[in-house]
Amino acid sequence: MSIQQPKIDRVRYESFGGIVSCLQPPFLAWVDRDFMRNLGYTDSPLWSAETGDTHYLSAPTEVHVSVTNRCSQQCDGCYMDSKQDCESEQTTVEWKQHLKTLRDMGVFHVALGGGEAFEREDFGELVSYCREIGLVPNLTTNGQTIGEREVEICKKMGQVNISIDGVNSHFTINGRNGSFEKADGAIKALKKAGVQVGINCVVSMKNFPFLQEVVQYAAKKGLSEVEFLKYKPSGRGRQRYEEYSLSQEMIRQFYPILIEYSKEYKIELKIDCSFIPALVYHKPPKDELEKLAVTGCDGGNLLMSIRSNGCFTGCSFVDNGEHISGIKNKWETSGHLNDFRKLVNKAKEPCKSCEYLSICRCGCRAVVLYNNTDFFAPDPECPIVYDYNMKEDML
């Protein structure tokens, strides 16, 4: 049996060595300086730069790009507060300029979304442009309008994830009659066209009892993954947070049930960064998490986001008013991005003494900023923080 040698697509320098991107099989690898030299790369000025606890990458590896804030679905918990109409959206020319800048900074992937990206008429043109300049486009879509045009565009994506919060009658946040059937039809059409398809499932109080059905459905359809994202108080999600956010009991049960479902249905189950406190509460071996590059709040480092109006943020779920123009400089100087990078140094108890601090990075800022004006406060949804606060209250 011959083993396929990965073909390197792009490489970028970092202070520790570099990041290597392969398209087939698709992966990013963090490699040291010797590895870079063995690949034929000469020493970089970045290798003599001082590094410290607040050190961060030379550019994000992935940027979430909300190409529009238009969406006809108007789901209750939309984290972007999407509208039927969207003013001050970036033009085709502006988006191409931003995408080119990201490429020049060394960004590898863009996660395209909205609103609903397909509501832009030029969306296919933007996706083709990503491929032309060497950015890998991935997409999250509501899957409600997937016809021939959309399938052709999706064929250019690395991965397409359809938003599904529940099957059949259990649609919750995006719960409109017939929306599951349309999403199911979209999955069939995309699979038939050979597109790599997964599901994005927002986990809330309402659909928590029905997550198994989502995993079962995804496995039956032969999908590549289900990614579970925690319901967050962001956009319209703020208005329904008290009603939809997970209880402490659910947060504590979440990781064990995922392990159970992944064994039973043999499908890749992922969690987003905001679920890391729910994972580390069960004390998995820290070195294993490090080997797997599991990371919590990594806005302003691995991640950045651009809103439909051209403003960038460390993460899609947190607001910032700075415009993306001049981002090469702003990547270094933005106070907003630098706040994300200081999370470990400025950690407060119990995060400060938590053995998983370097991985988790104090939980989710979207949750923190809903409950607190202090950007560096611990995430109150983390079970460790919750228990600590209970004890403090009793003193």
Residues that bind ligand SF4 (CB under 6 A): 273-274, 277, 280, 296-299, 303, 315, 317-318, 350-351, 354, 356-357, 360, 362-366, 378-379, 382, 384-385
As given in the structure block, the two tokens for residue 4 are 């396929």
Nearer to ligand SF4, 139 or 351 (CB): 351
Q: Write the DSSP string, 221-265.
A: TT-SEEEEEE--SSGGGGTTHHHHSPPHHHHHHHHHHHHHHHHHH
**Shortest Å, Cβ 340 to ligand SF4:** 7
**Shortest Å, Cβ 381 to ligand SF4:** 8
**Shortest Å, Cβ 234 to ligand SF4:** 8
**Shortest Å, Cβ 145 to ligand SF4:** 27
**Shortest Å, Cβ 193 to ligand SF4:** 31
Alpha-helical regions (H) of the chain: 33-38, 92-105, 123-133, 148-154, 179-192, 211-220, 241-244, 248-265, 276-280, 286-291, 327-333, 335-341, 357-360, 365-371, 383-394
β-strand partners of 225 = 268
Backbone angles phi, psi at 290, to 5 degrees: -65, -40
**Shortest Å, Cβ 346 to ligand SF4:** 12
Angstrom distance (rounded) from CA 151 to CA 265: 27
Nearer to ligand SF4, 129 or 386 (CB): 386
CA-wise closest residue to 143 among 223, 235, 239, 88: 223
Nearer to ligand SF4, 18 or 233 (CB): 233
Nearer to ligand SF4, 180 or 317 (CB): 317
Degrees (nearest 5) of the Cα angle 224, 159, 205?
A: 65
Angstrom distance (rounded) from CA 152 to CA 166: 27
**Shortest Å, Cβ 81 to ligand SF4:** 16
Nearer to ligand SF4, 80 or 364 (CB): 364
Q: Is the dihedral of CA 32, 37, 40, 45 positive or negative?
A: positive
As given in the structure block, the two tokens for residue 358 are 């370097």
Q: Which DSSP letter does residue 29 get?
A: E
CB 111 within 8 A of CB 140: yes
Nearer to ligand SF4, 196 or 389 (CB): 389
**Shortest Å, Cβ 275 to ligand SF4:** 9
Nearer to ligand SF4, 6 or 284 (CB): 284
CB 158 within 8 A of CB 131: no
Nearer to ligand SF4, 207 or 274 (CB): 274
